[in-house]
């Protein structure tokens, strides 16, 4: 199988681009949100234009124009028909599409995407529309099979969580060789009908994280992304397969913590939401700036997943939800500016198609197979052969050899390599073979000339009664003879071996032996004796102090030391004799892992405390306790 990108207008030869479509929806006015009774700050002018009061000068207004503007009276059906339905047919052509709702908290994003049972939102209507399109295509009998599946996830505190499998942990985000965004481990559920989708989607939506704030009783605390995947496969060869994905995104709203009253966990959630939305704004600014600079998709998991929707290869629609009250003025003003910038983003959709390519087996030479097994490319072998031919010195032309052996070796090596090389390399090798053949002809012609001149010279020398030497090497100098040396050679001295004489040995006891003691050995013995005496004194001294004490007093002191070791704090441990900060921490760590000390001798299990140091430690602490 070979995956390839196919442009939508291949026959026309044009490169298709699709601008991000931006729709703005105004939530109905709510008096309970307008505590001061200031009225609405946004007003509709026509189906594409709206105006908002300029916060710098209340007598002026700022106008914005978008692809479509949905007023307060716009229904869910009208939003779907005008903004979402036109991009659904692209899924059946192997292209991606995405719809995401943006806006401040409490502006109606979740209502636009999910809706209610009486007024379904964009998500249920879009999924029903995909099933209707697939059924219409199947009735046309075009020779394609269709399959639909779904995945549902949320981004909560920068963690990707699977809503279809709530027990799953944070999922990673990966990118394949074709720069497609993947989430390994994300649940993919096949769908057979819209009712089947409804049975999976409703329980998964309840797993989404929501909470109550001062501005919204059921505020979304995470970004939710629903993925609908449509795959169509051709029944007949070459069995083409096209894959289209629909991303339906409900973004969490930006929040002003001074107004929402967030604390603790709610404050941490709003910080993660605002940070991801700020990164989304940076991505839009970078795309509008152009120039091929870095786009910070990887700075947030939200922008990483929306990489295909903004500046990627999908047909994208952004529904910006705003509120009309003056309480939301700055949130509305910021959302309109973001929507105006997003309208300038241009995507480049293409068809994701996989085609089965028949494998053609080509007969390969033995040398090429060996080169393929060893993993050594042909170019490298060719360079090695050239290098060896250049390094080997060419021997002088001989009379009896018509060609140069290095040229023959080179020709044979090139003919072997010629069997399995590409066409471009063959041309270069053919040129080199021609040059070598010309050199071979030159060597052959020179050899023939030398052979002819050699035969003529031998005939002339035989007629003139010469000794048969070739005139090419004839000289007037007498022939060289090796002179025999007149110097007398020195006679080699022969080794004289006297016969073995056996003598009688004297008995060992009759031979007096005088042994002189070594000075170094004497010093070692003396030092050893002194150390033994000193150790004996120390042992006597160490054991002597315990004998002068009463056994009950000694046991009581040892018990006090053991009690400090088992229950004392870091300060108490450092109060003991010969226990510093480092050893006190080691004792605490050992006590937490192993438990209490059963006896004082257990201190030797701690690093750095030997038996000798233990005895010194016990002595010092007992004497200090008696002194106090």
Residue 103 in marked binding region = yes
Quote the pLDDT of residue 126. Answer: 96
Is residue 3 assigned to a domain? Answer: no
Q: Which of 306, 323, 355 is the last residue of a domain?
A: 355
Residue 229 in marked binding region = no
Per-residue b or e along 153-181, where b marks 16 or more CB atoms closer than 10 Å to that residue's CB: bbbbbeebbbbbbeeeeebebeeeeeebb
CA distance 275 to 269: 10
Q: Which of 355, 371, 386 is the last residue of a domain?
A: 355
Q: Mean pLDDT by 10-residue block, N- to C-terminus, for the chain (628 residues)?
A: 46 65 91 72 89 85 92 92 93 91 88 91 95 91 90 91 85 86 91 94 87 68 92 88 92 75 78 87 86 85 87 89 88 91 86 64 51 48 49 44 57 64 64 79 78 56 44 47 50 51 46 49 60 47 60 82 85 84 83 81 82 84 76
Quote the pLDDT of residue 422. Answer: 59
Domain that holds residue 584: 551-627
| DSSP assignment string, 255-299 | --HHHH---THHHHHHHHHHHHHHHHHHHHHHHHH-TT----GGG
Residue labelled with tokens 């003879």: 481
Residue labelled with tokens 């998500």: 123
Is residue 502 assigned to a domain? Answer: no
Contacts of 90 (CB under 8 A, 6+ apart): 96, 97, 244, 315, 349
CATH number at residue 613: 1.10.150.280
Is residue 335 assigned to a domain? Answer: yes
515 by Cβ neighbours in 10 Å (0-12 / 13-18 / 19+) ranks as exposed
Quote the pLDDT of residue 545. Answer: 62
Is residue 237 assigned to a domain? Answer: yes
Residue 107 in marked binding region = yes
Query: Does the global pTM surpass 0.75?
Result: no
Is residue 1 assigned to a domain? Answer: no
R_g of the chain, CA atoms, integer Å? 48
Is residue 453 assigned to a domain? Answer: no
Residue pair 244/94 in contact by the 8 Å Cβ criterion: yes
Quote the pLDDT of residue 467. Answer: 43
DSSP assignment, residue 392?
S
Quote the pLDDT of residue 605. Answer: 81
Is residue 66 assigned to a domain? Answer: yes
Residue 213 in marked binding region = no
Instruction: Report long-range pairs for 416-421 (Cβ below 8 Å, ≥24 apart).
Output: 416/367, 417/367, 417/378, 417/381, 417/382, 417/385, 419/365, 419/367, 419/368, 420/364, 420/365, 420/367, 420/368, 420/371, 420/378, 421/378, 421/382
Residue 106 in marked binding region = yes
Q: Which of 303, 332, 355 is the last residue of a domain?
A: 355
CATH number at residue 301: 3.40.850.10
Of the candidates 97, 95, 69, 73, the residue with the CA atom closest to the CA atom of residue 82: 69
The tally of domains found in the chain comes to 2
Helix orientation angle between 551-567 and 611-627, rounded to the nearest 10 degrees? 110
Is residue 528 assigned to a domain? Answer: no
The three-class DSSP label of residue 379 is helix
Residue 109 in marked binding region = yes
Residue 105 in marked binding region = yes
Taking phi first (over 0 means left), then psi (-120 to 50 degrees means alpha), and beta for anything else, what does residue 521 get? alpha
Of the candidates 331, 301, 208, 222, the residue with the CA atom closest to the CA atom of residue 269: 222
Quote the pLDDT of residue 384. Answer: 54
């Amino acid at each position: 199988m070979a995956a390839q990108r196919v442009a939508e207008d291949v026959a026309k030869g044009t490169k298709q681009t699709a601008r991000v479509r931006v729709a703005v929806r105004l939530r109905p006015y709510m008096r309970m949100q307008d505590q001061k009774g200031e009225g609405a700050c946004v007003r509709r002018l026509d189906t594409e234009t709206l105006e908002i009061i300029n916060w710098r000068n209340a007598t002026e207004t700022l106008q914005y124009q978008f692809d479509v503007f949905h007023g307060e009276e716009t229904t869910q059906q009208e939003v779907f028909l005008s903004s979402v339905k036109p991009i659904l047919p692209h899924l059946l052509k192997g292209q991606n599409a995405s719809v995401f709702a943006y806006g401040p908290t409490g502006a109606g994003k979740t209502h636009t995407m999910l809706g209610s049972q009486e007024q379904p939102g964009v998500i249920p209507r879009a999924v029903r529309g995909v099933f209707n399109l697939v059924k219409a295509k199947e009735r046309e009998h075009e020779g394609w099979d269709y399959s639909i599946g779904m995945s549902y996830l949320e981004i909560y505190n920068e963690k990707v969580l699977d809503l279809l499998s709530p027990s799953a942990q944070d999922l990673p985000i990966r990118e394949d060789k074709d720069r497609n965004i993947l989430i390994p481990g994300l649940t993919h559920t096949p769908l057979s009908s819209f009712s089947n989708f409804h049975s999976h989607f409703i329980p998964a939506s309840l797993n989404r994280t929501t909470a109550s704030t001062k501005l919204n009783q059921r505020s979304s605390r995470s970004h939710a992304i629903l993925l609908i995947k449509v795959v169509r496969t051709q029944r007949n060869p070459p069995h083409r397969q096209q894959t289209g994905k629909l991303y339906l995104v409900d973004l969490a709203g930006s929040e002003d913590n001074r107004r929402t009253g967030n604390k603790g966990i709610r404050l941490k959630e709003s910080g993660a939401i605002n940070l991801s939305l700020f990164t989304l704004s940076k991505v839009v600014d970078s795309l509008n700036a152009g120039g091929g600079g870095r786009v910070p998709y990887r700075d947030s998991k939200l922008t990483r997943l929306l990489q295909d929707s903004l500046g990627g290869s999908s047909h994208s629609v952004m529904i910006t939800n705003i509120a009309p009250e003056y309480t939301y003025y700055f949130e509305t003003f910021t959302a309109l500016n973001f929507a105006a910038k997003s309208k300038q983003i241009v995507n480049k959709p293409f068809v994701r198609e996989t085609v089965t390519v028949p494998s053609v087996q080509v007969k390969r030479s033995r040398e090429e197979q060996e080169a393929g097994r060893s993993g050594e490319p042909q170019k490298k072998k060719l360079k090695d052969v050239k290098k060896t031919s250049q390094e080997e010195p060419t021997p002088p032309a001989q009379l009896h050899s018509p060609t140069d052996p290095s040229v023959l070796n080179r020709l044979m090596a090139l003919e072997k390599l010629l069997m399995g090389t590409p066409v471009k390399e063959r041309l270069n090798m053919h040129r080199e073979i021609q040059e070598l053949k010309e050199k071979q002809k030159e060597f052959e012609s020179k050899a023939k000339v030398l052979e002819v001149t050699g035969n003529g010279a031998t005939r002339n020398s035989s007629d003139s009664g010469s000794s048969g030497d070739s005139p090419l090497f004839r000289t007037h100098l007498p022939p060289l003879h090796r002179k025999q040396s007149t110097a007398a050679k020195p006679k080699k001295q022969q080794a004289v071996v006297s016969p073995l004489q056996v003598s009688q040995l004297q008995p060992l006891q009759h031979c007096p032996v005088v042994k002189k003691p070594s000075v170094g050995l004497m010093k070692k013995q003396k030092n050893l004796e002194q150390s033994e005496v000193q150790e004996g004194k120390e042992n006597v001294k160490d054991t002597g102090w315990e004998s002068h004490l009463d056994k009950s007093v000694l046991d009581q002191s040892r018990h006090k030391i053991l009690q400090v070791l088992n229950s004392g704090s870091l300060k108490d441990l450092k109060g003991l004799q010969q226990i510093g900060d480092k050893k006190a921490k080691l004792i605490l760590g050992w006590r937490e892992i192993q438990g209490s000390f059963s006896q004082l001798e257990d201190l030797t299990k701690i690093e750095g405390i030997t038996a000798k140091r233990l005895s010194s430690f016990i002595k010092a602490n007992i004497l200090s306790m008696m002194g106090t």
